[in-house]
Chains A and B, each alone.
Chain A
Amino acid sequence: MAKKLLLLGDEAIAKGAIDSGLSAIYAYPGTPSTEIAEYIDNSSEAKEKNIKCYWSANEKTAVEGAIGMSYAGKRAMACMKHVGLNVAADPFINAAVTRINGGLIIVAADDPSMHSSQNEQDSRFYGKFAFVPILEPSNQQEAYDMVEYGFNLSEKYLIPVLMRIPTRLAHSRSGVEIKSYQTPQNNLKLPDDLKQFVLLPSIARRKYKELLAIQDDLLKESENSCFNKYIDNKDKSKGIIATGIAYNYLMENYDGDVPHPVLKISQYPIPANLIKRLYNECNEIYVFEEGYPLVEELLNGIIGVSKPIKGRLNGFVPRYGELNPTLIANALGIPTRTYYQVPECIVPRPPVLCKGCPHFDTFLALNEALKDYSKGRVFSDIGCYTLGALPPLEAINSCVDMGAAVTMAKGAADAGLIPSVGVIGDSTFTHSGITGLLDCVTYKSNVNIIILDNMTTAMTGGQPSLGLNKLADICKGIGVEENHIRIIKPLPKNHNENVRIIKEELEYNGVSVIISQRECIVTLNKKMREKHKKQESV
């Protein structure tokens, strides 16, 4: 019997990569993608095989690292959450033009319904934009199997492959059958053409034509893919297209036995012939997609088609938010029942900063230092500290994208909002705050930057913070004046002192950086427990 492991969708991808000749994974953490690299980071098997896990400074550096690994002939993976692909869009799209050498898979984990995100963008659009194949597993087993398949596809057409996984699959555990063989890693081998990766216009134009030329082949791969299935059934009053995880929700409603023809799509480009067949054979078409209505929109076109297409665009499925079995039942007119309602007395319980969190003390000091100024001048960013926007602190006024705390503070100061404060976490600062600070220094902008240095990437579970013990030097290195780099320790007993220091810097006309440094109590406790365990075992 094949060996079975109980794995999260994320872990299935990681294990699939370990078993399929991966040499290195590059990642910046982000829910719901983090557990992919974490699994490899903690895997003894990966260590034995010398598979490297690199937590990168951001998603762009991660994808570039993976492209370099591929240049050297080895199989590489880069993982990120959906918005991470915005940051990495430049190397991602250009890697499709250069093409690759060793197999390259980029994993983007989408978060429909925004459980832990600023938006619910659908990464499939990026795949289409870049002209690369997309794999969208519907379950944990496919997530595992698709990695080897994806590496092979990648090396067959010398093309990066995008894998897209939604929260519900990323964070759901199920039995996964592990293959009986292990694919060895590639040897170091440079591209035959040493100009392959030189995107000078003359070369880029040729490479782009080549990319367009393989599109027909990629389409054929989709039409014949084992992950795309046309399931013929008798009742042609409806034809149903279900992509990725939506296929499971559909099957759940019929206990696996749908009376209508079903087209399951898990590989792109969209298998056009299969869609045409469904359209020709059925009276109306239902489209269920987790995410944006990508397939549905294309089907409808601008001119429209004569048969009804039912999905998110005409209210059969909600226009936004993640799918579930009940929504699909409703769309298809399958009766559902709820027996109980949520009682009226139930109130929301929003997330909060942990008791004793260093960010809390920093915000208390900042609020007091700013109390004589009008409200609305604190630009912030993404991390645990974003919770500082909620009561009781209500300390920050923005959270847009990683790094924007620094540059938005600059823009507002440029516009005349003085003082203008940027509050940013340590990991967010090294992700994309440093370049913005260089802008501030260049123009001697009147901004006060507060770096919340809790010495970890806390929001996503405590991954390393790459600027650890380097933040003051980084600021100094890019030109912040030394006497305006202040280090404070956010503790209740230091409150008055911290307020005084922040006030001083608010009054300074120029770039100042306050590094508020105290370790996240969750990582601190974890370290203490591990130390305790070690001592016990000695």
Chain B
Amino acid sequence: MKKDIILAGVGGQGIISIAAIIGLAAVEKNMYIKQSEVHGMSQRGGEVMSTLRISDKYIYSDLIPYGGADIIIGLEPMESLRYLPYLKQDGWIISNADPFVNIPNYPDINVIYNEIKKIKTHILIPANKLAKELNSDKVVNTIILGATFPYLGFTKEEILRAIEQMFSSKGKDIVDLNIMAFTKGYEYALKYQNP
């Protein structure tokens, strides 16, 4: 198995947390990993992108070539489009539908949605709203992870174990909340594709 994933968002949204969970699942399976992070200037509310590469075979490059990404995971709809040249022809774009507006010239959100919908293999998920239903603004990323799950190539047990590992230091309540968030995202995405 080999997956090249782009994570896109705004500095401060914590795009790394999703990569970290998938990375944990890959480590458990003894897969090779390359995961890039963003430090420095752009962390301050600017556009940020991180990459995750996992494979059964040795991985050379830390960067993903253009046209090579299996999935773009967007924590923010405009940001999910910024890295489109990296997407494979049949790659998935899975994005939060809730925008993060911190610039005066943020485009009309419907224009953004239309661009995302031009890609057949896409999922738009209102993750902030779904998180509110769980009374937590901290699980947005886990909800999006749930929507991504079918395309990651892991079993549900493998991902849930990774979530548990990721949050175990914060107590059982937080683990359970994140598992609920994961399930919520997963179920929403299923319905999105088969309305």
Residues on A facing B (Cβ under 8 Å): 6, 8, 31-32, 34-35, 115-116, 168-169, 171-175, 245, 248-249, 251-253, 256, 324-326, 329, 336-343, 345-354, 384, 387, 459-461
Contact = CB atoms under 8 A, between A and B. Distances in A.
Given A336-B67, A347-B105, A115 B44 contact: no
Given A6-B33, A324-B63, A343-B115, 6 more contacts: A115-B41, A171-B38, A346-B78, A347-B78, A351-B41, A459-B41
A173 B65 contact: no
Contacts of B65: 252-253, 324-326, 329, 336
Contact of B44 (A173, A346, A384): A384
B32 to A, nearest CB: 7
A236 to B, nearest CB: 23
B41 A345 contact: no
A339 B62 contact: no
Nearest to A250: B60
B46 A352 contact: yes
A459 B46 CA distance: 13
A483 B44 CA distance: 36
Contacts of A175: 27, 32-33
B85 A251 contact: no
A348 B47 CA distance: 8
A337 B67 contact: yes
A168 B41 contact: no
B39 A339 contact: no
A338 B108 CA distance: 26
Interface in B74-109: 78-79, 81-85, 87-89, 102-103, 105-108
Contact of B61 (A35, A252, A336): A252
A485 B70 CA distance: 58
A168 B106 contact: no
Given A31-B40, A34-B39, A351-B44, A342 B34 contact: no
B43 interface: yes
B45 A248 contact: no
A524 B119 CA distance: 43
B22 to A, nearest CB: 12
A382 to B, nearest CB: 10
12 contacts: A6-B23, A116-B41, A173-B23, A252-B61, A256-B60, A325-B63, A336-B67, A338-B67, A346-B81, A351-B11, A354-B44, A459-B41
A34 B108 CA distance: 39
Nearest to B100: A349
A331 to B, nearest CB: 13
B36 A173 contact: yes
Interface string B4-32: 00000011000000000001000100001
B115 A173 contact: no
B36 A168 contact: yes
Contacts, number: 145
Interface residues of B, number: 50
A352 B81 contact: no
Complex A-B, nearest 3 residue pairs according to Cβ-Cβ distance, in ascending order: A116-B40, A31-B40, A351-B46
A537 B33 CA distance: 35
Contact of B40 (A115, A329, A354): A115
B128 to A, nearest CB: 17
A251 B44 contact: no
B12 to A, nearest CB: 8
Nearest to B34: A174
A327 to B, nearest CB: 10
Given A325-B65, A349-B10, A115 B42 contact: yes
Given A6-B27, A325-B65, A342 B81 contact: yes
A340 B47 contact: no
A349 B103 contact: yes
Contacts of A352: 44-46, 102
A32 B58 contact: no
A214 to B, nearest CB: 35
B111 A349 contact: no
Contacts of B84: 340-343
B166 interface: no
B46 A252 contact: no
Nearest to A357: B44
Contacts of B108: 345
B140 to A, nearest CB: 18
A387 B44 contact: yes
B82 A171 contact: no
B66 interface: yes
Contacts of B82: 342, 346
B33 A174 contact: yes
Contact of A347 (B32, B33, B45, B107): B107
Contacts of B111: 345
Contact of B62 (A6, A172, A337, A387): A172
A258 to B, nearest CB: 11
Contacts of B89: 337, 339
Given A249-B61, A346-B107, A341 B41 contact: no
Contacts of B36: 168, 171-173
A408 to B, nearest CB: 21
A338 B111 CA distance: 22
A354 B45 CA distance: 7
Given A168-B62, A172-B36, A351 B81 contact: no
Nearest to A10: B39
Given A326-B65, A351-B44, A248 B60 contact: yes
Nearest to A171: B37
A251 B61 CA distance: 8
A342 B107 CA distance: 14
A487 B68 CA distance: 55
A387 to B, nearest CB: 7
Contacts of A342: 81-85
Contacts of A8: 37
B177 interface: no
Given A459-B40, A461-B39, A350 B46 contact: yes
B166 to A, nearest CB: 13
- Please indicate which of the listed interface residues A31, A343, A354 has the most CB atoms of chain B within 10 Å of its own CB: A343
Given A339-B89, A343-B115, A169 B62 contact: yes
A460 B40 contact: yes
Most buried by A among B11, B59, B108, B112: B59
Contacts of B107: 345-347
Contact of B43 (A345, A346, A351): A351
